Structure formats: structure tokens, C-alpha cells
Chain A
Amino acid sequence: MSEYTQKDSQGHSVGIVEKKLHTSAEPPGELELECGRRLGPITLAYETYGTLNAEKNNAVLILHALSGDAHVAGFHSAEDEKPGWWDSMVGPEKGIDTNKYFVVCSNIIGSCMGSTGPCAINPKTVMPYGLEFPVVTIGDMVRAQKTLIDALGIKRLLAVVGGSVGGMQVLEWCVRYPDMVAAAIPLATTTRHSALAIAFNEVARQAIMADPHWNNGNYYFGDRPKTGLAVARMIGHVTYLSDESMRLKFGRRLQDKSDFSFSFDPEFQVESYLRHQGKRFVERFDANAFLYITKAADYFDLAKQYGGGSMVEAFSKMDARFLIVSFTSDWLYPTYQSREMVKAIKKTGGDVSFCEIEAEWGHDAFLIPNPRLSGIIGGFLYRVFNETAR
């Protein structure tokens, strides 16, 4: 997902918020991962907004995409220039209204945003894990998140919400802990990566691994594979946009030039934009974390893991009311992939609402302030709260 800093269109900010840490799986009670290896202790970064009511039935768990973090809304300090990544959606009187709901946003294992991942210190070696870190899955991420929700004293989540890789976590939550999820909002997501999506991830990973500074993942005491990670980000970024959004945003316009310079310096606006995105990303993200999280997303296959290949079988294990949203210009997870979910839920007799929102912004559309998206999420949450909580 990309970064957007547009001011929110409605409601106001949650204000100053604080990143918290939750630790679980202390040895000898390590988490047994899907790959067979054990991981512990596990730290998860998370943030909360709003107030958990006495009945503890107003909790909404938000799960973020590939490069996101637990900081979904508000500011960490008065000097912060940028709010959290979904500030347009989360806050008082916004789509996910923090006056009504207790909102939790959890980071994931494998990430570099405060949780246990390849750049964290391995307690056994007192060195960063690097490639010693086990390959984790979406399922492992969700199992770690469950210990956080348990620790917060929440027996049943009103809703689990997330876009892209966050949407995969939403689906995993629904199938793994059906009794704990009253409603689910998977946005711009898929039950499994297409060959196209895996291909882009693989090219991005190759860009990192081909950088000599990557050094088999062991770079924490020297130069980092900045070039590789920046290129990986540039590739990813293209898949988050669309032909239409790029045409509108850049066209063939040149950056600070009136004509070609007949060199390989960045000339087209789209080139300098991508370079800028790559450069900014390198400042905040870890190359190994990128490898691990993209791999987890590539491995995710709901039907294979939970339905013996049948999507209907996998969804029959869930008990949530669904709101599924796709975006017309999303070519990374196109609408047909959301429709497959809708179809499967209907076949199980489940409750599903679905909207394909007309948007030119490609896969990233779910991150961009959009009154229609806020409206349907708000209305859906209102309904499920009335149906399930009262």
C-alpha cells in the first residue's frame, strides 16, 4: 500500500495516540509456526482508539496491508506532520467511528514496525534474526494477533477490517476463530494470489536479493540493500496504481524539463515519482521484512488450506456477516476475485453485502478518502452492532 496524506473529508482526528506492545509466546511456550519451527517470545505493536464498552462487544480490529503499521489514525506527537495510514476512515464520526467502537490496530509478525520480525533481536544469539527468522504465514500472523485480543479481554470482535494483505488476515481470522468474529470487512483483497500477483512479488524480491548489500539478509551492521528495496517498492507501487490513475496523474509529462535530455536521468514525472516513493520507503522499511511478508501473502490460499480446494467449504467454516468491497481499477486483486468470495458465501447461506466501487486509483483506492467507502462501512458496522450486540 502507498502513503496518502490527504486531509480527511469528514469527522475529526482521534488526536494524540500511543504505540503499545504486547508480548506472548515466551519460551518454553513458543508459537509453533506452520513451517514447523517455533517462535518466541513474540512482540506485537498495536494501537487502540475509543473505549471498550462494559459488554466488550464494540471492538473492531483493523489489519493493515504489506507495508503498513499499527498506527492507523491520529498523531504520535503534536509535532507529527502525518496522521496514521487510515486517518480518513478511523476517528470520531468517521466510517469507523471511535465514539462508538473500540478500535484496535495490530501489526504483524515478520514486520519491521515494532513487532517480532527479521530485523528484531533473536534472544538466542542477541543479534538481529535476519534470515534465521522463520518463514511465517498469514495464519501465524493471525494466531499471534489472537493472543493480543485475548489479552485485551475481548471474547468476540464486532468486526475485523482490512484491505489487501490486511484483507487476507481478515479472512484468516474468520476461518480460524469463527466464534470470535461477528462481522468481516475484507477490502480490495483475494483468497489467493494470482500468478500475476506472485510474479510481481517475485520480481520485487529478486530486486532486493540482487542488491550486493543484501548479503543473504545479513546487513544490519553495514550498508543496507537500499537500491534493491527501492526498486522493489517501485515495482509494487506500479501494481497499486492503474493505467487510468497514472495517465491522469502523470501522463507523459516531464519533470522540470521542457524536452528530452537524451540521458538516463529521471525525466518523466512518473519516473521521478517512483524514485521518490522508493527512496522514502527505504527510510522506513526493512528489506528482509518485505521478503517475509510478500512470501506470506503468496502462500495464502484459503480454499486450499481450509476447504480441500473448495472455496465454499472454506467459507462454510466461517460465521461472520460479510461486507466485501472491490474497486473497478484494481488490477492486482481484480473484482472477479472478490466475486468468487461472494459466490462462495451465498452458497453457504451466509450473509454477504458486496459493492464494487467505481474508482480510478487502482488497488490503493481503499486507502484514499472516499465518502462512499466510509458510508458503507459505517452503515454495515451500525447494522451488525444492532443485530449482534443488543
Chain B
Amino acid sequence: MKLPGKMMRFDLHLIASWIEPGARVLDLGCGEGSLLEYLIQHKKVVGSGIEQNESRVAKCIEKGLSVLQGDINVEIEDYPDDSFDYVILSQTLQQVYAPDELIRAMLRIGNKGIVSFPNFSHWRVRLQLLTSGYAPVTRQLPYQWYDTPNIRVITLKDFRKFAREVGYRILKEVAIDAQSTKRAGNIVRAMPDLRANYGIFLITDHC
């Protein structure tokens, strides 16, 4: 197994930093498994993943990861309650048809959930809409309205409101300014709602 640590995305490093050694982790939409691989090597977690794309699943299994091919919304239903310490949904929430149901399922099978998504209230997004009148197209959300897989428009404030209304507790939250494929990035402390292009939340349904 190759050491992926140096190549891993900034947001994934942050997620990894929240997870304690030896935890049981499920990564929903795990891609080619770079986060899982990192967590297993550096945090000795018991990790598994779900991924829809066949070739990505094959890459994961080739690397020695426990990953199964399927739709996260369907596959998540089979796990017994509290099977995991952490269930991760990284940069996928905006593509989910029923986010409330998925998050509920995450917190049923997991003690804590980690959710990250592109922040739609970034000042560039706001400015584009305001000045051009067209649906915003950014680095983080690079699609046209008609071909985007991102069917949900979420802001950091939206997510906080959602958590409050549904009764989930936000244990940690971090707003970042990073490019989706790059390792480099910054944590945004001042005016995150305007300046962060991603948000990462650690949530639980325990009081």
C-alpha cells in the first residue's frame, strides 16, 4: 500500500483529525478510498466504504480496503444500529435526493456523523447571481443548471438551521477555503458564511 498522506485533500485531512485511533468508520461515497486508506494507516481505524462506481470500487478493493458497490441511500439501511463510531458523508450531501433521511440513517448506524458540502453562500456565488442573473458556476460547483449532479443548494447557515430544527447537535464545525482536488487550503475563521467554500460538520443525535 502506498502512503497517501501527502496527497490527500485538505478537507479530508481535517476530517481525519477529528477521528480517534481505533474507531469504526464508514465512508459513504468513498471514491478511490484515499480517506479510508489514510485513516487505516494513521489512525488504525476499522474502516469500510460504499461507492457506486465500479472502477472506483475495484481500485479500493485492490488497495486492500473493505468497500462495497452500491447506492449509499439503499446500502445504509442494512447496517444494525450503532455499527460505527463515525459515518462520513464527504462532499456528497448536495447530490442526495433525501438528505434528511440519509442523515437520520447515518446517525442511526453511527454514533457520530461527519458531513461536508460546498457552501452556496460564498460571496462569489452571491455576487454572480446578483450581477449576472445566471445560476452560479464556480470551481466548487462547476456545472450548468441542466447537467449538475448537485441537486441541493446548501449554505453553512442552512445546515446549522437544519440541525437545530431536527434536533441534531453540532459537536464541531469548520469552514474552509480550499480547492476540491488540492492539498492546500485554509481554515476560515472570519465571516465563514461569506468566505468559506466548504463546510465540515461533526454531528450527533445524542443529547
Binding site for B on A (CB under 8 A): 321, 323, 339, 342-343, 346-347, 349, 351-358, 372, 375-376, 378-380, 382-383, 386
Which residue from B58, B64, B75 sits with its C-beta under 8 Å from A355? Answer: B58
With A355-B61, A378-B62 in contact, do A349 and B80 touch (Cβ < 8 Å)?
A: yes
Could you say which residues of chain A place their CB within 8 Å of the CB of B83? 349
Could you say which residues of chain A place their CB within 8 Å of the CB of B48? 351
Contact status A376-B58, CB under 8 Å: yes
Complex: how many Å from CA A127 to CA B52?
56
Rounded to whole Å, the gap between the CB of B36 and the closest CB of chain A is 12
Contact status B66-A352, CB under 8 Å: yes
Which residue from A351, A358, A378 sits with its C-beta under 8 Å from B66? Answer: A351
Complex: how many Å from CA A379 to CA B62?
4
Contact status B58-A375, CB under 8 Å: yes
Task: Mark each residue of chain B from 141 to 161: 1 if its CB lies under 8 Å from any CB of chain A, else 0.
Answer: 000000000000000000000
- Interface residues of A: mostly helix, strand, loop or mixed? helix
Complex: how many Å from CA A277 to CA B153?
58
Task: Mark each residue of chain B from 53 to 87: 1 if its CB lies under 8 Å from any CB of chain A, else 0.
Answer: 01101101111111111100001001110010000
Could you say which residues of chain B place their CB within 8 Å of the CB of A379? 61-64
Among A347, A349, A383, A386, residue most surrounded by chain B Cβ atoms (within 10 Å): A383
Q: 30 A-B residue contacts at CB 8 Å?
A: A323-B61, A339-B70, A342-B68, A342-B70, A346-B78, A347-B79, A347-B80, A349-B79, A351-B48, A352-B66, A353-B61, A353-B66, A353-B67, A354-B68, A354-B70, A355-B54, A355-B68, A356-B54, A357-B54, A357-B58, A375-B58, A375-B62, A378-B62, A379-B62, A379-B64, A380-B61, A382-B64, A383-B64, A383-B65, A386-B64
Could you say which residues of chain A place their CB within 8 Å of the CB of B62? 375-376, 378-379
Contact status A353-B80, CB under 8 Å: no
Could you say which residues of chain B place their CB within 8 Å of the CB of A353? 60-61, 65-68
Complex: how many Å from CA A117 to CA B38?
51
Rounded to whole Å, the gap between the CB of B177 and the closest CB of chain A is 36
Interface residues of B toward A: which range?
A: 20 to 34
Q: How many A-B residue pairs have CB under 8 A?
A: 60
Could you say which residues of chain B place their CB within 8 Å of the CB of A321? 66
Closest to B63 in A: A379
Rounded to whole Å, the gap between the CB of A208 and the closest CB of chain B is 39
Rounded to whole Å, the gap between the CB of B174 and the closest CB of chain A is 31
Complex: how many Å from CA A339 to CA B70?
9
Complex: how many Å from CA A201 to CA B58?
33
Closest to A374 in B: B62
Rounded to whole Å, the gap between the CB of A388 and the closest CB of chain B is 13
Could you say which residues of chain A place their CB within 8 Å of the CB of B69? 354-356
Complex: how many Å from CA A339 to CA B60?
18
Complex: how many Å from CA A349 to CA B60?
20
Closest to A387 in B: B64
Task: Mark each residue of chain B from 28 to 67: 1 if its CB lies under 8 Å from any CB of chain A, else 0.
Answer: 0000000000000000000010000011011011111111
Could you say which residues of chain A place their CB within 8 Å of the CB of B80? 347, 349
Complex: how many Å from CA A386 to CA B58?
19
Could you say which residues of chain B place their CB within 8 Å of the CB of A351? 48, 66
Closest to A346 in B: B78
Could you say which residues of chain B place their CB within 8 Å of the CB of A382? 64
Complex: how many Å from CA A352 to CA B70?
12
Could you say which residues of chain A place their CB within 8 Å of the CB of B68? 342, 352-355
Complex: how many Å from CA A358 to CA B57?
12
Closest to A339 in B: B70
Q: Report, nearest first, the 4 A-B pairs whose CB atoms are least far apart.
A: A383-B64, A379-B62, A354-B68, A346-B78
Closest to A328 in B: B54
Complex: how many Å from CA A378 to CA B80?
30
Rounded to whole Å, the gap between the CB of B6 and the closest CB of chain A is 22
Complex: how many Å from CA A339 to CA B78?
11
Q: A347-B80, A380-B61, A383-B64 are in contact. List 14 more A-B contacts (CB 8 A).
A: A321-B66, A339-B70, A346-B78, A351-B48, A352-B68, A353-B60, A353-B61, A353-B65, A353-B68, A355-B58, A379-B61, A379-B62, A379-B64, A380-B64
